[in-house]
Amino acid sequence: MFNIFKSSNYQIIISKSLLLAARELHKRPIPIPVAWTRPEFGWTKLNFDGSSKGEIGPGVASIGGVLRDHKAQFLLGYAESIGRAYSSMAELKALTKGLELVLENGWKDVWVEGDAKGLVEILAENREVKCMEARSYLRHIKSLLLDFDNCKVSHIYREGNKVADRFASIGHRCKKLEIWRELPPLETLDMMRHDAEGKITFRRR
């Protein structure tokens, strides 16, 4: 009886097939599960975002953010148009305004989260920046962080920061700083419900 598994030709064919399949699999982007996470009991979570519409130079910019508690319940949201700015400055201004609002409301344990990875790393690693304006904002942010009893800063992919992103988009339509208390804008309700349910979004690398 002929045993195909003893055929050297067959073994070579299988090896090539596996090699090609492995190479093809390696080329494919591996999806990353992303989901918004609730803060611990007694903590307030601030998600912030900045938006800048412009490919060359500073674009028309806005900021936004949302505050929620350990039950994922809405506490406060904010949005504002800030004129023209680079996206990095918009992120700094969004975070600054969010922290100021947290302190104004007396919340002392805060989890700060944004999709600006560079900014999060600068804060986490206490890095210096060259831009004088950015440096000024960072000094102010660090002074605000010292006023909290407990504070942690983390990065999340944009897919998990959708509510803050929507508030930043709303900011483009605001003539001045807008603050929502108790009831958020209708266009954010589904996103917040998904976050509260722990809905997972898959991100392609």
The pLDDT assigned to 189 comes to 98
What lies within 8 Å, CB to CB, of 193 at 6+ separation is: none
The pLDDT assigned to 12 comes to 39
Is residue 179 scored above 90 in pLDDT? yes
% pLDDT > 70, the chain:
85
CATH, domain 44-197, list 1.20.200.10, 3.40.50.720, 3.30.420.10, 3.30.70.270 = 3.30.420.10
- Per the model's pLDDT, the better-predicted residue between 25 and 149 turns out to be 149
The pLDDT assigned to 10 comes to 37
The pLDDT assigned to 5 comes to 39
Contact call for residues 95 and 48 (beta carbons, < 8 A): yes
**CA–CA distance, 194 with 86 (Å, rounded to integer):** 30
DSSP the chain: ---GGG-HHHHHHHHHHHHHHHHHHHHSPPPEEE---PPPTT-EEEEEEEEEE-SSSSEEEEEEEEEE-TT--EEEEEEEEEEEE-HHHHHHHHHHHHHHHHHHTT--EEEEEES-HHHHHHHHTT---S-HHHHHHHHHHHHHHTTSSEEEEEE--GGG-HHHHHHHHHHTT-SS-EEEESS--GGGHHHHHHHHHT--EEE--
Lowest mean pLDDT among 23-27, 151-155, 157-161: 23-27
The pLDDT assigned to 1 comes to 42
Residue with tokens 């605000």: 144
pLDDT tens-digit profile of 60-83?
999 999 999 999 999 999 999 999
Residue among 146, 148, 86, 150 nearest 118 (CA) = 86
Residues in the chain: 205
Is residue 7 scored above 50 in pLDDT? no
Contact call for residues 203 and 34 (beta carbons, < 8 A): yes
User: What are the tokens at 42?
Assistant: 């007694």
Strand 32-34 with 178-181, pairing: unpaired
Confidence of residue 128 (pLDDT cuts 50, 70, 90): confident
Lowest mean pLDDT among 44-53, 56-65, 158-167, 185-194: 56-65
Lowest mean pLDDT among 18-27, 48-57, 83-92, 93-102: 18-27
The domain ranges of the chain are 44-197
Extract long-range pairs of 183-187: CB within 8 Å, 24+ residues apart.
Answer: 183/74, 184/66, 184/74, 184/77, 185/77
Confidence of residue 25 (pLDDT cuts 50, 70, 90): low
Contact call for residues 65 and 46 (beta carbons, < 8 A): yes
